[in-house]
Chain A
Amino acid sequence: MKRLNLEFGVGLFLLLGLAAFFYLAIRMGDVGLLRQEGYTVTARFISSSGLKEGAMVELAGVRVGKVRRIALDPERYESVVTLAIEPGVQITEDTIASVRTAGIIGDKFIKLTPGGMDLYLADGDEIVDTESSLDIEELVSKYIFEGSDTAQSE
């Protein structure tokens, strides 16, 4: 009986620990044993500044995947972003991928704007139309300097 008690206690304790671990790993860490197999598409950006691996991919405001990998194309000096798209979400070939910011200083994410074609992208395909990230600093300085240029010319 004593032995049984000990094993029961240890078993209960370890189950609790494992349950806690799986809760953390699956809900927080997104590593599911039940992970559904999606597919990946790539997109080239002139600049993906601020985008991080694991960032969200949204279509019509709904989360449909995430950024799997960001790499540099050493020949064209472009950023090649690999997007993991959930299964069941089909993306048309003329979809536009743009790097957007949530709020003014929020996280960067990829926004997909679907087009009207009947052809859909398959695993490994590339999204041709892309918009790079908007650099707020650049925008502000552009606004300021262009403003002063026009003021001088007048």
Chain B
Amino acid sequence: MSVELSPMILAIFLPLFGAIAAFIAPRAAWSIGLATLAATTGAVIWLARDVWAKGAVMLPLGGWGAPLGIDLRADGLSVAMLALTSAVGFLVSIAALDSLKDAARQRQYFWPLWLLLLTGMNGVYLSTDLFNLYVMIEVIALAAVGLTVLNGTRDALRAGLEYMYASILGALLFLMGVGFVYLHLGRLDFAGLAGAEVSGSLIAAMALMFVGLALKIALFPLHFWLPAAHANATAPASALLSGLVVKAALYIVLRLAQYMPFPSETLLTLVGLMGAGAVIWGGIQALRAERLKLLVAWSTVAQIGLIFVAFARAGEMGLTESWKAAALLILAHGVAKAAMFLAAGRIKDEIGHDVIRDLDRAPIRPTLAQFTFALAAISLIGLPPSLGFIGKWSLMEGAMAAGYWHWVAVTMAGTLLSVAYFSRVLTAFLRFDRVRAPVGEHQGWALADAAPLTLALAAIGLGLMAAPLLSFIEIGYPFGVAQ
């Protein structure tokens, strides 16, 4: 049989080979990295065109086919996640070129780790069986811990180690769940799961997998590792970790809900409650945070919670629609949070610290980075016409239609909290002339602001394209099998 070149294979193997090449040739790492990213983005565009034209595409690797072999499958949702990863990843990489230019050692290791991360994430979005997913989230975890500790400070190392512990434990729980599913059903591919009947052992297996994933997503109350890890990493790494890495495990939860029979309404409510806890607790901690990057990291905890609230918004019956609200929020958060972390990194670079209380006393005013931060905040708070607004809107619309007013209340409370904590930062940007220091040569307009600004503008602008985006993620009927 002939070897057919598929964009799905390219999307997984290009970054893998790129990572190896970038590791072997550290001096050329950045050029290898950018070339690989460009090529991978090309493959994703190719795949998107295929999916747009033909619907979901499937590829049995080596011609074996499930349940014995490994299938790759791409539908609208996977392509949307792939596109998010490539686009955000590309812009973060451009920002990294600038922000790591004085740190030779960090620059040397950033590219191989980031490309390895990309391999794992693209693998997750194209996998169709549980075990493949397990392997891919492990690839992601190892690369992500490497990125967390990239700057080598004590705080980053401590946070990275904590992240590693959480990640290993999460992976083991997931592996146990996968094993139980196999022992119970005798197969691990999604198609095999779809027909399974709900039973005690299957629910136990799902619960194990969910707890494992929740550890990796940092869903409240298992979020303990996230704030320190994301706040202490170097700026481009934070943007990748917060914008992209947690999304991979979130995506797996969406997929599992799609293919596995959902056990019960009670469990879904529990998931929603965990999300509500994250929204409130993350908001309160963000209000208390003293450092800018820590505030942004806590807001990630809150936003992740919101995605789970969206997931549970209309109960079991509404799941066929709710996943769309969750998917929109995932995309919106990915773009906006990457922009925000990059902007926060720029502000820290220019001013020299990121203590929120003292931001308004700095003689330097990185205006463009502050503007970017504000734009990203607009999307994260959920003001129109941003993508965040569309996500929150569809969350609340669905909750109201189903009569689940408590989820509307949680969303409202979360929105108010996010207005409050982002206002703390925005007022510090305005400075009210407390310091009449000369704002001299340095207005903080730098080429490095281009990438975060593009991301922030995209987070706002994508809201205007929400309708075509929604119809795209529905290609391949991701939730057609569930009910």
A interacts with B: no
